[in-house]
Amino acid sequence: MPRLVLNNKTRLFVFIMLLFCLLSACSSFLPENQADSQIKNGELSMPSPIGAQESLLRYAVFPAPPYMIGANDPQAGMSGIDVEIVQEIARRLQLNLVYVSCTWERCLELMKNGKVDLLSSAYKKADREEYMAFLDQPYLDRLPIAFYYLKDNNYQIKSYEDLYRFKRVGVLQGASYFDRFDTDEHINKVEVSSQDQLFPMLLAGRLDIIAGYTPTENYHIYTEGYSDKIKRSFFVYHDDSSIFMAISKKSLFMTGRLDDFNRINNDLLKEGFIKGIINAYYARYH
């Protein structure tokens, strides 16, 4: 085989191209001290182009369609109600958006220690207010809760009291549904780390019924073809429930920029931007 000989000009060109490729690859991920950019403890962040640390908005995402779609595989692209709202907030504030994928409980921990800046789909609770600053206005004012079971079982769940008949009620670990249910110690709740586990466990006979946010369960039933297997309870909790976005109290954005987040959130509500997105996703997965 003939020996390849590179002249000085060619060597310089190859060196420049290698350097360029190396720099391009590095820019695909953030340093760990900025946003947990490596796969670690089940979390994966997918950054936008790197800027100054003050311009990075680290957004905690978890599997909760149609609010957050793609949280289990951020490389495939993120979408959803919350995601589109946060994307618009980041655009108007000229921030580079970073997704940090985590389970719900782990997302709360990341907010607590300041490793992420923003969390959405959160109920305002006293214990959470210790480490989160909730935006002034909720972006959702109602989130109906229902209970789901296998059609073949033909259960009758017409009132809250009917829930006491079941020995295994599937719920998302650390999640809030509604006060009476959350605090009821007479209902045997089986906790799972991700909402994606609930329907498969129900279908496998490992749960009797599951508690679910109806827009999320509508999405799963629609996209995963469960309509001929799963039935929703007649009883639905649909009282007003304010759902907020919140900033970690250890975030850099707590100093001087919280007002900006509130202003943009209020603008999006007044403009009908948020309502339009919600209506579009609800209609798609009804």
| pLDDT the model gives residue 152 | 95
pLDDT reported for residue 110: 98
Cβ–Cβ < 8 Å for 120, 67:
yes
Q: Torsion angle, CA of 258/263/264/268, rounded to 10 degrees? A: 140
pLDDT > 70 in the chain, percent: 81
Mean pLDDT along residues 185-197 = 93
Domain boundaries, the chain: 32-141+242-284, 145-237
pLDDT at residue 36 tops 90: no
> If pLDDT is split at 50, 70 and 90, which confidence band does 85 have?
very high
In sequence order, the 6+-apart residues with CB closer than 8 A to the CB of 126 are none
Among 46, 53, 42, which Cα is nearest to 29's?
A: 46
Which conformational region is residue 7 in: left (phi greater than 0), alpha (psi within -120 to 50 degrees), or beta?
beta
pTM for the model stands at 0.79
Same fold across 32-141+242-284 and 145-237: yes
pLDDT digits (tens, 9 = 90+) for 105-114: 999 999 999 9
Least confident piece of the model among 45-59, 135-149, 184-198:
45-59
Q: Is the pLDDT reported for residue 138 higher than 80?
A: yes
Q: What is the pLDDT of residue 1?
A: 41
pLDDT in tens, 201-233: 999 999 999 999 999 999 999 999 999 999 999
Instruction: Render pLDDT for 235-282 as a digit per residue (tens, 0 to 9).
Output: 999 887 899 999 999 999 999 899 999 999 999 999 999 999 999 999
Main-chain phi, psi angles of 110, to 5 degrees: -65, -35
Point out the least confidently predicted range of 43-47, 180-184, 187-191.
43-47
Residue 53 has what pLDDT?
59
Instruction: Return the higher-pLDDT residue of 29 and 223.
Output: 223
Q: For domain 32-141+242-284, give the fold.
A: D-Maltodextrin-Binding Protein; domain 2 (3.40.190)
Residue, of 246 and 77, whose pLDDT is higher: 246
Residue 28 has pLDDT above 60, yes or no: no
Residue 216 CB partners (closer than 8 Å, separation 6+): 64, 65, 66, 67, 195
- Does residue 51 register a pLDDT over 90? no
Q: What is the residue-averaged pLDDT of the chain?
A: 85
For residue 161, the model assigns a pLDDT of 97
- Residues 145-237: name the CATH superfamily: Periplasmic binding protein-like II (3.40.190.10)
Phi and psi angles of residue 51, each rounded to the nearest 5 degrees, phi first: -135, -160
Residue 74 has what pLDDT?
61
Q: Identify the weakest region by mean pLDDT among 70-74, 80-84, 143-147.
A: 70-74
